[in-house]
Amino acid sequence: MTGSGLQLSAEYRRDSSWVATSRPRLSWVFTEAPPGWCQAAAELRLNDGRTEQINGSLNVFVGWPFEDLVARETYQVQVRLQGADGIWTDWSDPLDIQLGTLAQGEWQARFSGLAAPRQEAQPFIIRHRFLLDRKPARATLYWSALGAVKARIDGVDVDDSVLAPGWTSYADRVLHETTDVTALLQPGWCTIGLEVTGGWYTEVYGFADEARRVYGEQPYAAAQLHLLFDDGSEEIIASGVDWETTADGEVVASGIYEGDTIDHRRSLRWWDPQEGDWEAAAVAPDQPVPVSRMNEPVRRVNTLAPVKVSSSAAGTILDFGQNLVGRLRIEVQGAAGTRIEIRHAEVLEDGELATRPLRRAAATDTFILSGTGTEVLEPVGTFHGFRYAEISGHPGEVDPERVRAIVLQSDLRRTGWLETSNPLLNQLHENIVWSMRGNFLSLPTDCPQRDERLGWTGDAQIFAPTAATLFNCNGFLANWLVDLRAEQDRAGGVVPNIVPNVFGFAWAAAAWGDAATVIPTVLAERFADNDLLSKSLDSMQAWVSSELAAAGGPGLWETTLQFGDWLDPDAPADMAGAAKTQPGLVATAYLYRSLDLFSKAAVHLGEDESAAWARASAEDVRAAFAAAYLTSDGRLVSDAPTAYALALQFSLIQDLQTREALAMRLAHVTKRDAYHISTGFIGTPLVLDALTDFGYDSHAAALLLQTRCPSWLYPVSMGATTVWERWDSMLPDGSINPGEMTSFNHYALGAVADWLYRRLAGIAPAAPGYSQIHFAPTVLPGLDHATATVDTPAGRTQGGWRREQGVIHWKLRVPAHATAAVRLPGIELEVGPGVHEWTTTEPPRTAAASVHMWSPVSEVVDNPDAFATVMKVLASHDGHLAEMVRRRTDWTLSTPLQIALFSVPPHVLNQIAKELDA
């Protein structure tokens, strides 16, 4: 809510006032504070007139100062702030807060379903008719499912959620939704109904022959309606055997991977007592007690129109211009029995849908028309990852104006925006945003399109800093961490590679299990969520203990199966873990990092004994790392960018002279690889920081702005609109990578966006919740400007730089609840709230030397136009030859180009020479 420039919120919810705790924390931002203003105190006021004053500058997750909330009561709270000058602001607009959870023992509803389902994962409808003799003063509906459910009263949706209540570790936790339905109830006969599909609960998980239903064969649903009347009396209506069920609705079959089959001839107005064949409900054998949702549900967040229509062998292909996650909505007229099939894919191959990357996911929705006029087709129990949709069986020509792609996402608030002078870099950023949007759906998934869509812990921890910048994902990840801790407890302290753990087994895998230490740390840093850090401390300790046990003590971790630097671009298509960096080096680095993070969290939370143990163990690991992997000449035994980035960014090597030597070697191997990306999942988020920390800005620029494969911008140059799983998911000739894992929407490699905000534009948190901002942008050659805007818990900040005729203009907006440490060339100072500007003179740059065939390889590589010319000529004669040259890691950079290309045919060398001379 806003009033007098004050934005007030409670807990994690974005727009809804429902909270999952009786003591909700409050946060506020003063958006219209004058320059230099700072908060000295805050006063909170309830609608009954009671007030509480809180002295100091705290504005994020402030503890609830009043008595506990009571279910089915509405509270209104306001805030006003006092500045250091003693002047109070006006009161904010009131924020309605309601407790979304039930008291212990209040849940009465039984999870119920079909007594005699006709098939596995049978969709069904469950309803209950009741007579209201008067209008309730308040009606609250609590509803849940082992599956996915849409709740309606007399045919009207009770809310706008999709696939509710979402996917959790069902053995440990099932969510329920809470909705005020007072406006939907009038005196007379009323019917409450739940339309249920299997969703994630009945999905078949696993690969190839091992795939199976993990949770249950059939879905179930539960609902509980609380009616409060003006005289204080209350009535509860709860699902159970006295409710009615039917499988005769229009949803014939539904699966997350398979898609929906919907027959409009079976459309059922189930709130009409005269329609349908009904039988008594059967209750589920196991009855969980659901808990209230703490974060936003999945919603329809956007709608896209087709941008191109083409024909295929089977029908009409629509191109929506954007790889997205969601489903199609079509308006159509046709004869009864007309069967329309919709298939989905992320890319085309030879003009047809490329479905091989989907593996066993059919990703197909089928509709049968009723012939009753204009019909709206949209699936209800599934979602797809696609840019292209093929419609077959459509009566007549497909009218693109009557087709829309509905974008689905957990409804997170966007918080990060970036703009630079490079259009490809801007598109990369938007691709990263879209990949997060598509994969933050109920839980953080690895991909949204194939027969996987699992909560891989490694992907989530790698991407967490970027996620926390692009969207307010604090509640989303906090919700997922509840399941992570539950799955970890079941595995004896080991964090499974996926959460929820549908594989059923777990082993300690570095960088994947480290989600237990990394993500709580990130959320504490970016959102000042101290309570979450406290709740995660035992999980952090259990994980580092599991790591130490797997390693055999505080030393090298080289004894267990590891993913390593997953999807190193030099790994074979069918061996994703065959990276240049030793997996033991990666595992040992992460062992140190998690011990370090746990030690710092324990210190912060006052657990000094645990902190001391972790610190001592970390130092032993660091010593072992240096002894085993650091050579006498300042190199690492894995002479690869990921190894150097890990050693530098995790502070495994602390001697400054040695660190400088490692950074110099990192710069060398980056240049040796001709500024092509040479890192997988592990090294990619770290390599640019490791370069720019030591002043290798030109190397970082060449790496970041590279457009040849593999690079961040290569997919953009190939028309990508999301981040790919592999650097070369699509090969330069337009064919699809032959590897089995080839997703075109996979956010891990998009973790570079965190660097773009922190280092390129210079907006970095220096204290929890951005209460202090570190502003030290990196002016990269090849760019003329870069600006970032971030809605932080301290307020909106904006910063960046612009190059104009040898002068750098710097600008920073500091929000009301923050200060900033500014570190610019020749300028070091602290500033408070307001807009600040500076100018500095840019040192002149040395012009690139002219290049010819006898120039050293180093000069050719450093000249983007010259190197592009060499690669263009090689590729025009032999693509394999060009790839071989690109992958040369044995180049002596001082060797003349003529000699370095000794294996190239003479006529090709002659053409290269002519092109360079030109």
From 284, 398, 427, 268, select the one nearest 330 (Cα to Cα). 398
Provide the 3-class DSSP secondary structure of residue 915.
helix
* 455, two tokens: 């909560």
Distances (CA, A) of 668 to 12, 385, 580, 672, 866: 46, 40, 16, 6, 19
Residue with tokens 């990852």: 385
The number of residues making up the chain comes to 918
* 155, two tokens: 């045919």
* 689, two tokens: 């920081």
Q: Could you tell me if 364 and 344 are in contact, meaning their C-beta atoms sit under 8 angstroms apart?
A: yes
Rounded-to-integer distance, Cα 333 and Cα 402, Å: 11
Residue type, 198: G
Angle between helices 641-649 and 583-604 (to 10 degrees): 20
Q: Is the peptide bond before 444 cis (omega within 30 degrees of 0)?
A: no
From 195, 324, 204, select the one nearest 255 (Cα to Cα). 204
Catalytic residue at 177?
Answer: no
Question: Cα(first)–Cα(last) distance of the chain, in Å?
Answer: 63
What percentage of the chain's residues is helix, strand, coil (to nearest 5)?
Answer: 25, 30, 45
Rounded-to-integer distance, Cα 67 and Cα 47, Å: 13
Rounded-to-integer distance, Cα 47 and Cα 14, Å: 22
Rounded-to-integer distance, Cα 540 and Cα 517, Å: 5
List of residues 6+ apart from 237 with CB closer than 8 A: 128, 130, 192, 224, 225, 227
The conformation of residue 833, written as its DSSP 8-state character, comes to S
Catalytic residue at 331?
Answer: no
Distances (CA, A) of 887 to 77, 671, 675: 62, 12, 11
List of residues 6+ apart from 831 with CB closer than 8 A: 812, 814, 819, 820, 822
Q: Could you tell me if 447 and 745 are in contact, meaning their C-beta atoms sit under 8 angstroms apart?
A: yes
Q: Could you tell me if 417 and 411 are in contact, meaning their C-beta atoms sit under 8 angstroms apart?
A: no
Q: Could you tell me if 343 and 364 are in contact, meaning their C-beta atoms sit under 8 angstroms apart?
A: yes
* Residue of 258, 452, 525, 547 marked catalytic: 452
Burial annotation 476-489 (CB, 10 A radius, 16+ → b, else e): bbbbbbbbbbbbbe
* 340, two tokens: 């329309």
Q: Could you tell me if 605 and 716 are in contact, meaning their C-beta atoms sit under 8 angstroms apart?
A: no
* Residue of 11, 244, 725, 859 marked catalytic: 725
Alpha-carbon 557 to chain mean position: 29
Rounded-to-integer distance, Cα 318 and Cα 331, Å: 15
Angle between helices 608-629 and 641-649 (to 10 degrees): 150
Rounded-to-integer distance, Cα 394 and Cα 311, Å: 13
Positive or negative CA dihedral for 116, 118, 120, 126? negative
From 345, 205, 250, select the one nearest 744 (Cα to Cα). 345
Provide the 3-class DSSP secondary structure of residue 21.
coil
Three-class secondary structure assignment of 763-790 = CEECCHHHCEEEECCCCCCCCCEEEEEE
| Pairing verdict, β 259-263 and 364-368 | parallel
Q: Could you tell me if 462 and 682 are in contact, meaning their C-beta atoms sit under 8 angstroms apart?
A: yes
Catalytic positions: 452, 725
